[in-house]
Amino acid sequence: MTLMLARADYFPSDAMPVAVADRAPQPSFPPHRHEFYEIVIVWRGNGLHVLNDRPWPVTCGDIFYIKDSDCHSYESVNDLVLDNIIYCPERFKLGLDWSQLLPMDDPHHRAYWRLTTRGMALARNVIAQLEQESCKTDLLSLQLTEALFLQLALILRRYRYAVDQAWQLPEGEQLDLLMAAIQADGENPFDLALFCQHNHLSERALKQLFRQQTGMTISHYLRQLQLCRAKYLLRASDCLIGQVAARCGFDDSNYFSVVFTRETGMTPSAWRQQFEHAGRVLVHHS
């Protein structure tokens, strides 16, 4: 059964449009929806964020825009620290076109982005102020909260980038460049040495930076990306197991099956069948 998180449990009054729920750390949390919209910003650690049945490996710098109709959960968390900035659009008073800044009702707007190192620093300061003001209920605090939220939305709009479109990267921080390169083409193996050579970076220093910021190695993150893509394809497509393996960067489908089974405790076929069974049960009961 999917949990429903109520507004009354998170906002200090029916008039307050925004609230901040810090998760330090964020524990594993079952599938849930909420009576509000949410922006998730990950500060450190790692884990799996499952959004509308699609798993994403998450770590520092990841942003998700969650609508009230979305269902999401957290799994396999490891010192995962994030902020949930929750908001009710109908309570805004500034009269702005928020759809230019927030993907609230556009079904084609992507939910997952990354935030540059510079953007994270700017956002953190605004969120600290937002957290203080959104706890109050006086009129001035209501107005200041919405103004601060606007500032945050503008920062995210300026400094976010789509991981599969590296050309959108507004600045060249090492970690940002690496993340964009890793996720640019999931079907081909990522060559760290070549990346470092091309960008004139120290491979050893970059590995240390990545582990310091994310709590895992680059190879572990790459493997999590492959497995998340595989889980999604097995559930959402009719691709053969060998085709799924190839699309996730595995040259050998047998090796893919071994890795998938070791990491999930289920074979790729068994993983797919559990959702097919669930679908048949749902049809039967309806």
DSSP per-residue codes, the chain: --EEE-GGGT-SSSS--EEEEEETTPPPEEEEEESSEEEEEEEEEEEEEEETTEEEEEETTEEEEE-TT--EEEEEEEEEEEEEEEE-GGG--S---GGGTS-SS-TTS-SEEEE-HHHHHHHHHHHHHHHHHTT--SHHHHHHHHHHHHHHHHHHHHHEE-TT-GGG--S--HHHHHHHHHHH-TTS---HHHHHHHHT--HHHHHHHHHHHHSS-HHHHHHHHHHHHHHHHHHH----HHHHHHHTT-S-HHHHHHHHHHHHSS-HHHHHHHHHHHHHHHHHH-
212 and 279 co-located in one domain: yes
135 and 178 co-located in one domain: no
198 and 108 co-located in one domain: no
What whole-number percentage of the chain has pLDDT above 90?
Answer: 56
- Residue 95 gets the label, from left (phi > 0), alpha (psi -120 to 50) or beta, of left
CA–CA separation, 260 and 255 (whole Å): 8
Residue where a domain terminates, one of 161, 177, 200: 161
52 and 186 co-located in one domain: no
80 and 102 co-located in one domain: yes
User: How would residue 281 be classed by pLDDT, with cut points 50, 70 and 90?
Assistant: very low
pLDDT value of position 72 = 95
197 and 94 co-located in one domain: no
147 and 48 co-located in one domain: yes
72 and 37 co-located in one domain: yes
pLDDT value of position 170 = 54
Each residue's pLDDT tens digit, 65-85: 999 999 999 998 999 999 999
What whole-number percentage of the chain has pLDDT above 70?
Answer: 91
Which CATH number belongs to the domain containing residue 22 in this structure?
Answer: 2.60.120.280
Residue where a domain terminates, one of 161, 194, 214: 161
| pLDDT for residue 123 is more than 70 | yes
97 and 24 co-located in one domain: yes
220 and 155 co-located in one domain: no
29 and 148 co-located in one domain: yes
Which CATH number belongs to the domain containing residue 179 in this structure?
Answer: 1.10.10.60
Residue where a domain terminates, one of 161, 177, 207: 161
Name the residue range of residue 251's domain: 166-285
- Looking at the structure of the chain, the number of domains it has is 2
| pLDDT for residue 105 is more than 90 | no
11 and 145 co-located in one domain: yes
